Structure 1
Amino acid sequence: MVEQLLCPRVVGRDAELVAVHETVAAAARGFGGGTVLLGEAGAGKSRLVDEARDAARARGLTVLGGRCVEVAGVPFGPFVEAVAAAERAGAPRGAALAAARTVLDRPAGGRDVSTPTEVAEAVLRLLREAAGGGGALLVVEDLHWADLETVAALDHLLAHSADHGAGCLVTLRPGGDAHGRARRWGDTRTARLVELLPLSGADVERMVRLCLGVDAVVTGLLEFVRERADGLPFLVEELLAGLRRSGALLPVDGGWQVIERRLRVTVPPTLADAVTAGFTALHPRTQGVLQAASLLGRRVAWDLLPRVTGLAPDVVLASLREATYAGFLAADPDDPGALRFRHALIRDHIAALLLAPERAVLARRALDAVDDVHPGLPGPWCALGAQLADMAGDRGRTARLLTELGGRELRRGALATATTHLERALELLDPEDSLLALEELVAAHALAGDVDAALERGVPALDERRARADAPARLLELELALGRALLIAGRYVEARRHAVRAGAVDTASAAVLSAQVDVSAGDPEQAEATARAAIRSGRLAPDAACEAWEVVGRAARLRDVEAAEQAFTTALDLAERHGLAASRARALHELGTVDLLDTMRTDRLGQARAAAIETGAAATLAVVDFHLAEALVARQRVAEGREAAGRAIATARRIGSSVLAPALLTLARSHAHELAVEAMEGALDRARACAPGDPEIEAGEWGRVRAMLALHRGEPAEARAALDRAVVALRAVPGHHFPHWGLWALLHAVTGGDPDTVADAASAPGGDTRFNRALVRTAEAVWRGPRDPRAAEERFVAGVADLGAYVDGEWLVHLVGWLAAPAAHRDGWGDPVGWLQAAVRWFADHDRPRLATSCRTGLRAVGGPVPRRGRGTSSVPDELLALGVSSREVDVLRLLGRRLTNNGIAEALVLSPRTVEKHVASLLRKTGSADRAALEAHAAVLSARP
């Protein structure tokens, strides 16, 4: 069974939620009052009613009510249901309930039905009785279908709400007598009228993301849902569910893969039935005009309709008037002088009612009309033209238009959408006519980073284009595309060959590719010089200029973070000015790497990730997730970092990206931080298998992984030995950025190693990035300590200040304090006792027992008092002790039972919220609880004990 993709919370209805909660709160206080939710079908009225019911029951209110039905039913139906609900809820069989039942039951004799006032008074007494027991809420749904007597009775109840004290919540759709009465209630303040407008585009996007449980979705899916849901929450969920059933949405790697070519509309059955019934009631001439209009788009192109239908303009206008009166068409909010289908799904269903031969004939006429009036099919007319040609059965014309459309989407960076159009075009084209579409598709695959697909299709296309020798510009694009793909795969020698061949056609564009190869292969100076020369030539297209500025930034990043940020910002400005979505995603990623080096913030990496998903740039997505993983693990948010590394690994493996092996190293490092040696070794084996003999991977294994394992074990000498091995490997790749040069120098300083490592680390690539600069300063402090204690302390303070500027940098500060404390004590500078005391508390609170033990040993060696272990104040019951729960965790568990937030627990126990978060996560893991509510069950058992 395919799951229904429901939104886990209400979106875009903040003011409406406030209104219903205020209605419930007033009812709980016995103040009465009414609220009317006005909105068309699917606007979210029922979801708000559910929220109100839940809130009312949570406060102990009695909830009564019912709904009106479209067909004639029991008189005063909602009130009959309300009385039945009172009986089911076990309401006392007092006079009020009996009276209400008598009034609402059809009497055996006498007059046929009760009057609205009699019904209202009977329900009023019932509500008063219910409210007297703690409050009551009356819910009346779908008032637009109510008979006049029911509306009149409700009118009486709302006007006398102060007498019964219950809250009244009413829902209805626009139009009809009930709508007019609701307007009067609002005008006279008898009830509050809350109108549910369509969700904004941003809210629809948020709702889609929440339904799918992802941070971002591909642009094609968003456009599909936005266009057809019309801001109605119900339709957002229905459309997503339909796409899931049709296979257009496939679960993959904890997210969703969108098959854009399968994006097809499934009109909800209730809407389809209503549209069909209304459509068949129209004049046949109007039916024909509406069906012709449905093929031309959501907006009614009335000037084209006479040519498509063969009817006179005045006849077409008369038909459009009838369709508007019938509710199929409405004024276009973006152009009040125009008409459009009231819902996109109405248009889709009317088009679906056409027989295939009818559709083909109309589509052929419509395509000819569009082509005549809009020659060249600019803007959205090209997409419409391709749809019409396809419906008309014209394969050749469809393929040509899809190729043109795919090329346009490619140039604006909508890579997933471009790929969909171009693959469809290739299915329709004969092999001898397919080269242009194939070339565009190769470019899309290369920009998206799908290396295997780009090479598989691109190599034969390049051979054919060379053989034809008739289009140098097309040959250039193929050479550049294949060069980019090989670059992503880390095959720099082959990529450079394509750059050289491209240079025979266009030296500026080829120079950019050559510069990208240089900066990736470890020659930043040559890369920057080449890129700047290409920029100065003034012959670069905007997308190539973006790439050139990216090279400049990457070359500058390791020596001058500010200059790198300026270059990447220039690339971002260019991308946004020219609407280049893929270039924008790359520029945001590069700006995120500046943050990674300078502050460890991940804001812009998050933006880059969303942009990469939206545009379908898989290569950018893989490297963004890799850098996110690096940042999160470095900040000790290990579980989140491991998740990001897993995403990077999955994407890189799928597309053949060279980021696969580095991402596996990051995964190994995450295990090293938690001393999970077996898992670490498994990830290292996989990394080596991906890049056998690669010195960068060897350096990463020893410098980024094994050195971290040794440090977290509290073994500085072993960490230094691991970094020594990394440095040996780095000699084979002199331009490679290595993040731990400064750490290498500090470890040599604190273990009596080589003082020359300080100068080596300071002059290495990236030596002046914040982390390396800070640790070089602390290394200098240790070496200077015996000769100049004051200078040593100044250096150390400057280094620690740099580390403290990182987000979540506390652990780095404490790590450095632990490492430097013995030397500082020996040489008489700094505050080694204070450093170790602060470090032991932090490491103990953050589940770093080996480091905490090493700090305690260091404190004893320098004669400082050792802080007591953070064991908490609670005794641990035997059953929890068997699970490994600590005393401090029991402290936290007891406060969870009082339903305190993490911040509240932190304040009560004088801990940081992050520490509490770790204790809660540990409790969930140790007790096997699913969530905080389950933990509260353990807390309830504890609270029952003395």
Structure 2
Amino acid sequence: MGPTLVGRSEELAALLDACHGGPGRLVLVTGCAGSGKTTLLEELTRRVTDAGAVVGSGHAVPGGGPFRPVAEALVRVAPPALADEGALSPFRAVLARILPTWPPALAAGTHLVDPVVVLGEAVLALLRVLSTDRRTVFVLDDAQWADRDTLALLEYLAGGLREVAATVVIAARDDQAVPDALTALHRHARIRTVALRPLPPADVALLVRRTVGGELPPEAEEYVARVSEGVPLLVTELAAGLLESGSLVPDGNGWRTTSTLTGGLPPSHLALVHNRVAGLAPRARELVRTAAVLGPELDADLLTTVLGSDAAEVADGLSSAVDAGLLTRNAAGDVRWRHALTCGAVLAGLTPPERGAIAARAAEALEDELGVRRALVADLHARGGRPARAAALLLEEARDAVAAGALATAQEILERSLVLAVGDPGLVVAITVERIQAFALATRTDEAIAAADVALPTATGADRTALAIAASRACVGGQRFDEAGRYLTLFGDPDDPRVQALAAHIALDAEDLDQALALATRAAAAAEQVGPPDVLCEALEVVGRALRRRDPKASVAAFERAEQVAAGHGLTPWRIRALAELGATELYGAAPAGRLAEAQTLALDAGMLGTATALDLQAVAMTVGTEGMVGVMSRAERCADRAGRLGLTGLQAHALMFAARGRVHAGRAGQADLLLDEVDRLVPSPLYRSERSHNRSTDAWLDGDDERAARELDDCIALLRELPAAPPAPVWGEWVVLRTVCDPTDDGPRAELRESDVLVQAVNRAALAYADAVAAAHVQQVDPGLLLAEGDRLLAPHPFLRHWLRIMLVPRAVDGRLGDAPALLREAHAWLLAHGENRMARLCAAHLRRLGLPVPRPGRYGEMVPPRLRALGVTGRELEVLRLVAEGLGNIEIAGRLQLSRRTVETHVSNLLLKTGTRSREGLTGLAP
């Protein structure tokens, strides 16, 4: 059985208090080796489990891999079925990377966000689900051995746990070199530290009595208390040492001493362990020594493989070690080291050649069973005299760490592997390339460049080009395009399609579209013949982006080919990128719908939460036309919140911009200004500054002041003219329509738009058609009907934008040459009310009153009235009457069905005949939906 808890009542009470209600928190338990941290955690686990909490436990071990203790704890409380929980859908793939029993996730791509932050959000979401109806407690031991990414994850959780009914308790030694990340936990304002101090004499005496099973003479108790300095492990080891050395012998119901205990120090813990090992039978001794070489995590199956023994023989050897006090067995029957210090003491008793020989034999035995033990096998090879093999295995381990999002851990592994790989130039280059890529993923551009600069001078041929490409990509990620191009020019093979595709991307970012298109076309042609497929995808993406405004159809074709190649080769990140580009072209009217939603699904399936957030923002922009600005406002706010939590300030700013527009449409312009203040703080950019003018213009227009609205848009467009790379936003079309309505004789805005590449945007093309219709109606020489029909055709998928721009025409539509203004206003009024655009609906009502027409009362008709009938002014009640007329019911029957008077029904039928221009009830029958 394991040791029982003696003393520590205050510490246990503090931990129980943290686990029994209130906001979530993280508690750090510290103490020297042997201070009883593990025993305290075991007692805590028993208590909170008995109290009904959900409890997950894990522990770190040297070389255990990224997120080991957290994953171990999660596996205990998060069965695979939990992956179907709706609240976890955005995080399912992220969690699946550390939960091997969950459905596997697609391969992730470039991280837009620190992967530790993404995993932190995922774990917090899981804790919310687990803590729905009871407390959740995670207990993580031996954090001093945890990798840097695990410690960074715990630090992130500390800030978010206050929103979750969960407690995380971690224990770590404080008597050795403490990792910087663990020091950060000590200093964190949201983390409570519980330090284990030496036991007082009374507790030492109690622990001694429990160890030996009876009372000790006072001099023996005083001796143990003095020499152990109150460290529980040393207390029990000293007491056991007194028994083993014969210094204590039974004396009736107690013990007596046989020698003076004050004449010197007792045998050290190291000597005690050495004696116990020496007393074992040869096979048991070999087992214990081999286990010590394998590390502090004791695994019977692993020992069976390494020793070439059968399970029964290993079980017997473990039992002998338990009897000798080297190992301990818990209530579940699992065997472990009595303490990590015991394992270290056994290892210290071996000579370096002995340790090397055991490590070499173990590595050889485990070569065919690498699995999750690759890091251990690499360590054994390193200690057993095969450094190159160790380096190759560590390189694979580092790649897995990158895939898991553990970038800091990956760098530590790569640094070690680089030292071991000295003497194998090819392996050194492969490791250096991986280091550069890992630095780039962590946006540590300077370190990536430094690593490349060390290796490039001596590299040749393909190795030199691989290093140049890695260095160049790191520079691109850091927005250092001149340096990126320099690496390719000085060290890259100009005929290599990888170099050409990357150079094309650099040219595109520099807005040299001709150069980008030329390089990408060459790279695509070469990659089509010889590959690799990811290079073809990259080249096609550049082609598509370079042609987006010049030749939309060719641009779509390039993106579609990239998506096809990526799908065929399982290149999920490149497929997402292609689908996202195709989604963007939907607004331009050049690509079929649905691609953006497909990209979002893939991004979530791959756990690319940053990418999914960016795509969600893109979806917000695309659904304005179908839902209205008020309709997308809450979605934009959620997107801004998620982007902020993930540290994506650019996305956060853009999402807040949409939220601000929604505030203006909802009649809360003051709140919109506050949101734009936050945007300026996040990303001070002329693009976002133009939004203030745009919002002021919208506010003025919704108040019916077209002239002031046009002046504000002039300021907005003046800023956008200075940003040729800005997206072709619909504000250009809005400006042209409003300026033409204010002065149909001024052809300047229309001429500017006609020559601009922002016409790639379908909304801007529709706006130009409407503006041309206004000018044509003014001179009364050209029928504007065809122009209006063209604008309506382009905006058919975007009813909000169609109503928005058509309502702008109403001041010029009084003579009927710009369409049936009353019908247009009634249709728009109904749609806007049904979609919460009440302020814009009030503008429609004001126009109807100016035309001397009645304004439909809110609620008289709604979204259920088909647009063609809404345009005629048919109300919801009239639609109900129309449907019953179509069923063949008479007025008396309709009155009874709808609980109306006969005269009211007759009035509704008369209105229907008048509004629809129908002469008989039979004619109405054909109009019913």
User: What TM-score, normalized by structure 2, do the two folds share?
Assistant: 0.53
Given that residues 762 and 772 in structure 1 are in contact (C-alpha distance below 8 angstroms), is that contact kept between their aligned partners in structure 2? Answer: no
1:705-763 Cα deviation digits (max 9, x unpaired):
55444455554444433433343334334344322232232222322253343353344
Confirm or deny: 8 A CA contact 1:592 1:602 kept in the other structure: yes
One-letter code aligned to 1:385:
R
Q: Which residue of 1 aligns with 2:777?
A: 785
Q: In the superposition, relative to structure 1, how do residues 482 and 765 fare at CA in structure 2: closer, same or farther (>3 Å)?
A: farther
Structure of larger gyration radius: 2
Q: Which ranges in structure 1 are unaligned for 5 or more consecutive residues?
A: 6-197, 228-232, 267-283, 324-345, 874-887, 889-907, 909-946
1:723 to 686, 704, 713: 713
**Paired position in structure 2 for 1:221:** 98
Pick closer, same or farther for the CA change 1:569–1:742 going to 2, 3 Å.
same
Q: 1:610 corresponds to which letter in structure 2?
A: L
Aligned partners of 2:516 and 2:546 also within 8 Å? yes
Displacement, 1:639? 1.0
Does the CA contact (< 8 Å) of 1:472 and 1:505 recur in 2?
A: no
Corresponding position of 1:570: 561
Task: Give the Å deviation of 1:681.
Answer: 3.2
| Aligned twin of 2:802 | 813
Aligned 1:240-389 pairs, distance under 5 A: 242=138, 248=153, 250-251=156-157, 308-311=306-309, 315=310, 356=343, 381=370, 383-389=372-378
- Measure, in 2, the Cα distance between the counterparts of 1:393 and 1:667: 57
Equivalent residue pairs, number? 615
Q: Distance in 2 between matches of 1:593 and 1:682?
A: 29
Matched, 1:765 2:643: no
Give the aligned partner of residue 526 of structure 2.
537
Aligned to 2:580: 589
Q: State the match for 1:516 in structure 2.
A: 505
Relative to 1, partners in 2 of residues 1:627 and 1:820: Cα closer, same or farther, differing over 3 Å? same
Query: Contact 2:507–2:515 at 8 Å: present in 1 too?
Result: yes
Comparing both chains, which one has the higher relative contact order based on Cα–Cα distances under 8 Å and sequence gaps of 6 or more? 2
- In the aligned structure 2, how far is the partner of 1:359 from the partner of 1:644? 55
Task: Kindly indicate whether the alpha-carbon contact (under 8 Å) linking 1:4 and 1:241 is maintained by their aligned counterparts in 2.
Answer: no
Letter aligned with residue 98 of structure 2: L
Secondary structure of 2:94's aligned partner: coil
Q: How far apart are residue 309 of structure 1 and its match?
A: 2.0
Q: CA deviation at 1:626?
A: 3.9
Mapped contact 2:471–2:484 kept (Cα < 8 A): yes
Match of 2:796 among 795, 804, 809: 804
5+ long unaligned stretches in structure 2: 1-16, 22-75, 105-125, 144-150, 173-282, 319-331, 423-427, 863-875, 877-897, 899-929
Q: Is the partner of 1:557 in helix, strand or coil? A: coil
Letter of the aligned partner of 1:723 in structure 2? L
Cα distance change of structure 1 residues 368 and 253 upon mapping to structure 2, 3 Å threshold: same
Note if contact 1:632-1:641 (Cα within 8 Å) is conserved in structure 2. no
594-603 vs 552-561, which moves further: 594-603
Give the match for residue 637 of structure 2: 642
Read off the aligned partner of 1:550 and give its amino acid letter.
E
Structure 2 equivalent of residue 443 of structure 1: 437
> In structure 1, what is the Cα distance between the partners aligned to 2:532 and 2:366?
28
2:675 and 2:576 map into 1 onto residues whose CA distance is 29
- Note if 1:775 corresponds to 2:773: no
Q: Secondary structure at the match of 1:782?
A: helix
Q: How does 1:389-788 map to 2 (within 5 A)?
A: 389-390=378-379, 394=383, 400-401=391-392, 403-406=394-397, 408-409=399-400, 414=403, 416-417=405-406, 420-426=409-415, 437=431, 439-446=433-440, 448=441, 450-451=442-443, 453=444, 455-466=445-456, 468-471=457-460, 473=462, 476-488=465-477, 490-503=479-492, 507-538=496-527, 541-558=532-549, 563-595=554-586, 597-598=588-589, 599=593, 602-611=596-605, 614=607, 618=610, 620=611, 623-631=614-622, 635=627, 636=629, 637-651=632-646, 653=648, 662-663=654-655, 665-688=657-680, 695-699=686-690, 702=693, 705-740=695-730, 741-752=732-743, 754-786=746-778
Other structure's SS at 2:759 match: coil
Question: Matched residues in 2 for 1:471 and 1:852: separation?
Answer: 69
- Label 1:445 to 1:218 Cα distance change in 2 as closer, same or farther (>3 A): farther
Structure 1 residue 852: Cα displacement: 2.6
* 3-state SS of paired residue (1:750): helix
- Following superposition, the deviation at residue 479 of structure 1 comes to 4.3
Q: Secondary structure at the match of 2:504?
A: helix
> What residue number does 2:83 align with?
205
CA contact (8 A) 1:742 1:776 kept: yes
Matched residues in 2 for 1:644 and 1:847: separation?
20
Corresponding position of 1:18: none
Q: CA 1:394–1:560 in structure 2 vs 1: closer, same or farther (change >3 Å)?
A: farther
* 264 and 252 in structure 1: CA distance in 2 versus 1, 3 angstrom threshold: closer
Please state how far the C-alpha of 1:218 moved relative to its aligned partner: 5.3
CA-to-partner distance for each residue in 1:123-180, whole Å, 9 max, x for gaps?
xxxxxxxxxxxxxxxxxxxxxxxxxxxxxxxxxxxxxxxxxxxxxxxxxxxxxxxxxx
The structure-2 alpha-carbon separation of the partners of 1:872 and 1:746, relative to structure 1 and needing over 3 Å to count, comes to: closer
Q: 1:308 and 1:244, CA in 2 relative to 1: closer, same or farther beyond 3 A? A: closer
1:130 maps to which residue? none
Residue 853, structure 1, aligned to residue 842, structure 2 = yes
Please state how far the C-alpha of 1:831 moved relative to its aligned partner. Answer: 1.8
Aligned equivalents of 2:346 and 2:599: distance in 1?
47
What is the CA-CA distance between 1:644 and the residue it aligns to?
A: 0.8
User: In structure 1, how many angstroms separate the alpha carbons of the residues matched to 2:465 and 2:494?
Assistant: 6
1:843 aligns with 2:832: yes
**What is the CA deviation profile of residues 627-649 of structure 1, one whole-angstrom value per residue up to 9, with x for unaligned ones?**
24434566431111122133335
Query: One-letter code of the match for 1:309?
Result: L
Match of 1:63 in 2: none
Q: 1:18-33 residue pairs with structure 2 within 5 A?
A: none
- Equivalents in 1 of 2:20, 2:93: separation in Å? 19
Q: Which amino acid aligns with 1:638?
A: M
Q: Structure 1 residue 796: deviation in Å?
A: 2.2
Return the offset for 1:386. 1.4
Q: Distance in 2 between matches of 1:764 and 1:501?
A: 38
Coordinate RMSD, CA, aligned? 5.9
1:525 Cα deviation (Å)? 4.3
CA-CA distance at 1:833 after TM superposition: 0.3
Deviations 1:432-452 (A, max 9, x none): 979865642331343x4x43x
Per-residue deviation, residues 482-506 of structure 1 (Å, max 9, x unmatched): 5445444555444444443454566
Q: Assess if the C-alpha contact under 8 Å between 1:386 and 1:397 holds in 2.
A: no
Q: Secondary structure of the residue that 1:743 maps to in structure 2?
A: helix
Q: Letter of the 2:451 partner, please give it.
A: A
Query: Alpha carbons of 1:583 and 1:663: their partners in 2 closer, same or farther (altered >3 Å)?
Result: same
Q: CA deviation at 1:767?
A: 1.3
Deviations for 1:34-54, whole angstroms, at most 9, x for unmatched residues? xxxxxxxxxxxxxxxxxxxxx
Mean Cα deviation higher: 643-652 or 659-668: 659-668
TM-score by length of 1: 0.53
- After superposition, the C-alpha distances for 1:213-249 in whole angstroms (9 at most, x for unaligned) are 847525522437569xxxxx99x96999648998656
Distance 1:601 1:745 in 2: 30
* Correspondence 1:831 to 2:820: yes
CA distance 1:386–1:769, shift in 2 (3 Å): same
CA distances 1:795-836 after superposition (whole Å, capped 9, x unpaired): 32342343231xxx3322321231122323334342210111
CA distance in structure 1 between the aligned counterparts of 2:409 and 2:772, rounded to whole angstroms: 58
Helix, strand or coil at the partner of 1:551: helix
